[in-house]
């Protein structure tokens, strides 16, 4: 299977993760008003599974290093399989909350609050397991990200023409999503042998196998979570599976693309964890908050028409995010 051998390449993979995780939500924005997000979300999770399988059968099955995907899948223990499966379910519930928050509050709000919070708590959780990286630099970087989140919430509160009810609802959904999102990566990390992808320990998974099992957990849990949400939507009327199959092919394709983009970032992040460590790899990947905020502010114009003080707060947020992520990178050098 394909394995990276250097820390700089691991950082590059983390940056690709950042771009993917911060950009997939643009596919949701493209369907807003045309396709309920509950139906979009079905295509999204199927896209994650399809891409993960494709990558495992190609990148995860060629080369002399590590175990090929099918061989690796056959030897994994039930406990490790279940751990990655649970990680998928936890992620799915968190991501559904985040997707709903995006629909209500926009990318430039939901991502910095939700994923920024996930970065802070997730780094703490993952670092406790491996203690890989300089803790002073790592946690100082996390503290700067926390300050950026606060500024973003303040900016959203001052945004013009925003009623208190949707503002509160969007922020609360983002917070809940962030709290749940903090823990999914730990379940995947413990199912893999992060110390040696070349000759992984028996009963542990390679990143490729873990990504597939994780994606399977997302799809299986979606049968429960999204089915409930379709009957009890956050907005609009209830939906049925027949509504899903009535959707235009182009709308389905957009959702599948969104899932594939996220899955690419997830796979690269798991591969990078072997060299960068789970805490640094996860923390940089969740720098997607910065990417998503840039999309929301400059492309989707989600803060247009706001008073000048809001623009200053957003600029300060970007600076704090950049400084915080730079320290997270330096922590692994």
CB 25 within 8 A of CB 289: no
pLDDT of residue 39: 94
Residues with Cβ within 8 Å of 149's Cβ and at least 6 positions away in sequence, in order, are: 112, 113, 116, 117, 120
CB 107 within 8 A of CB 293: yes
Distance CA 319, CA 190 (A): 33
pLDDT of residue 246: 94
pLDDT of residue 159: 67
**Residue numbers of the chain with a pLDDT score lower than 50:** 160, 162-163
Q: What is the 3-state secondary structure (H, E, C) of 145-171?
A: HHHHHHHHHHHHHHCCCCCHHHHHHHH
**DSSP state for residue 205 in the 8-state scheme:** B
Distance CA 271, CA 258 (A): 20
Integer-rounded Cα radius of gyration of the chain = 19
State CA 237 to chain mean position distance: 28
Report pTM.
0.85
Count Cβ atoms within 10 A of the Cβ of residue 162 and give its class: 0-12 exposed, 13-18 middle, 19 or more buried: middle
pLDDT of residue 270: 92
Residues with Cβ within 8 Å of 241's Cβ and at least 6 positions away in sequence, in order, are: 230
pLDDT of residue 163: 47
Nearest CA-CA partner of 182 in 106, 93, 101: 93
pLDDT digits (tens, 9 = 90+) for 80-139: 999 999 999 999 999 888 877 877 777 677 777 887 788 788 888 878 766 667 889 988
Q: Per residue in 234-260, is it b (16+ CB within 10 Å) or e — as a string? A: beeeebeeeebeebeeebbebbbbbbb
pLDDT of residue 257: 97
């Amino acid at each position: 299977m394909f394995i990276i051998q250097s820390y700089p390449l691991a950082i590059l993979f983390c940056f690709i993760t950042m771009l993917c995780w911060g950009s997939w939500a643009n596919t949701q924005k493209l369907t807003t008003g045309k396709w309920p997000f509950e139906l979009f979300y079905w295509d999204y999770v199927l896209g994650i599974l399809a891409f993960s399988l494709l990558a495992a059968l190609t990148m995860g099955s060629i080369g002399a290093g590590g175990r090929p995907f099918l061989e690796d899948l056959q030897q994994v223990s039930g406990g490790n399989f279940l751990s990655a499966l649970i990680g998928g379910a936890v992620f799915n519930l968190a991501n559904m909350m985040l997707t709903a928050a995006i629909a209500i509050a926009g990318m430039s709000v939901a991502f910095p609050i939700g994923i920024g919070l996930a970065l802070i708590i997730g780094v703490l959780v993952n670092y406790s397991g491996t203690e890989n990286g300089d803790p002073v630099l790592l946690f100082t970087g996390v503290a700067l990200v926390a300050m950026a989140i606060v500024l973003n919430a303040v900016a959203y509160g001052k945004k013009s023409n925003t009623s208190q009810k949707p503002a509160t609802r969007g922020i609360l959904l983002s917070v809940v999503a962030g709290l749940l999102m903090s823990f999914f990566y730990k379940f995947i990390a413990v199912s893999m042998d992060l110390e040696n992808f070349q000759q992984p320990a028996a009963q542990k998974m390679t990143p490729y196998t873990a990504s597939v099992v994780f994606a399977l957990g997302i799809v299986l849990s979606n049968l429960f979570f999204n089915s409930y949400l379709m009957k009890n939507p956050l907005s609009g009327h209830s939906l049925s599976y027949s509504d899903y199959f009535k959707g235009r092919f182009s709308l389905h394709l957009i959702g599948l693309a969104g899932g594939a983009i996220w899955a690419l970032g997830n796979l690269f992040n798991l591969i990078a964890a072997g060299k960068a460590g789970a805490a640094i790899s996860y923390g940089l990947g969740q720098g997607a908050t910065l990417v998503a905020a840039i999309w929301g502010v400059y492309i989707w114009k989600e803060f247009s028409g706001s008073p000048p003080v809001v623009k200053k707060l957003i600029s300060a947020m970007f600076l704090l995010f950049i400084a915080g992520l730079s320290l997270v990178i330096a922590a692994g050098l």
